[in-house]
Chains A and B, each alone.
Chain A
Amino acid sequence: MKPFHSNARVACVRGPIDAVSYVHNPVDISVGARVLFVGTTRGSTGGVVTHALEYEAHEAAAVHHLNGLASRALNRWSLSECVIVHRLGRVPVGEASVVVCVSAGHRAEAFAAVEWLMERVKDSVPIWKCEESSDGQRRWIHPEGGRMTPAISQEEWS
């Protein structure tokens, strides 16, 4: 299998994420844009009040797939750096569940990479969320578009 890109940094964590800590001055002077995305627990979805989200993962597989995504984004948009951090366990409303930070030469590549990465984090990494509503009801979210598919071929990698 193709090795992961050396500038990919990914992790699953069980406590609060300090998003800003992932934005630091790049060593690479070709960097002209850094985009930081922070996904947080929303307080309501479709009129239902959410108390918290609880995330579960196959952690080793999730890290493996996050590494694969970061490596593909680094190659596709010639990024200098790509960080993906996903929180697992209970995430109260307003707190960060996922952070993506990329560094690129220009903002167009950086925004495009973050948008693509977030779409893939949602549909191709073995992480699941359970919505806990204010009345204590719990509901696992298994969207129709979330079925994982066999790995892409080596040719499609870069």
Chain B
Amino acid sequence: MKMQDHVKTVLKNDSQPDLGCGTLVVNLFAGLAEVAGTRQIQLDWKSGTAEVLRIQLGQICPSIVKLLSLSAIAIEHEVVDDTMLVCEGAEVNVFPPVSGG
């Protein structure tokens, strides 16, 4: 996957990077992480809706667009509506369709 220059990817999921102001770390899981080629995408972010975040993630990483459209955006544990505001520094998780059991 080719990433734009301003986007830094962090391959380790167990340590949060030292964040400056206006950044957002988005965690990817399962097939979404596989398609993206990374478990985390870090992007410049002030504030915007989950829908705007979805669009930006797709622009940064076009390979995930299809699966991203089927995925849920969560702030920490809870899935949020696309109209919900996502603030910088929030723990953002993108959950692709689940398949436990």
Contact (Cβ within 8 A) A122 B79: no
A124 contacts the other chain (CB 8 A): yes
Proximity bits, A109-151, B CB within 8 Å = 1, else 0 = 0000000001001111111111000000000111111111111
When A98-B100, A150-B81 are in contact, do A58 and B95 touch as well, CB less than 8 Å? yes
Proximity bits, A40-76, B CB within 8 Å = 1, else 0 = 0000000000000001111011101100000000000
Contacts of A147 in B (CB 8 A): 70-72, 97
Please tell me the number of chain A residues within 8 Å of chain B, measured between CB atoms: 36
Q: How far is the CA of A125 from the CA of B74 in the complex (A)?
A: 12
Contacts of B67 in A (CB 8 A): 142
Contact of B99 among A39, A62, A146 (CB under 8 A): A146
- Closest A residue, CB atoms, query B78: A151
B3 contacts the other chain (CB 8 A): no
A80 contacts the other chain (CB 8 A): no
Q: How far is the CA of A150 from the CA of B73 in the complex (A)?
A: 9
B-side interface size class = 20 to 34
Tell me how far the C-beta of A48 lies from the nearest C-beta in chain B, rounded to whole angstroms: 15
Contacts of B37 in A (CB 8 A): none
Contacts of B71 in A (CB 8 A): 147
Contact of A144 among B95, B97, B101 (CB under 8 A): B97
Q: Is the interface of B mostly helix, strand, loop or mixed?
A: loop
A86 contacts the other chain (CB 8 A): yes
Chain B residues 67-95 with CB under 8 Å of chain A are 67, 70-72, 74, 76-81, 93, 95
Contact (Cβ within 8 A) A128 B98: yes
Contact (Cβ within 8 A) A148 B74: yes
Q: How far is the CA of A58 from the CA of B98 in the complex (A)?
A: 11
When A61-B74, A61-B77 are in contact, do A142 and B99 touch as well, CB less than 8 Å? yes
A-B CB proximity, top 9 nearest: A140-B31, A127-B100, A146-B97, A128-B30, A141-B99, A61-B77, A148-B72, A142-B97, A122-B101
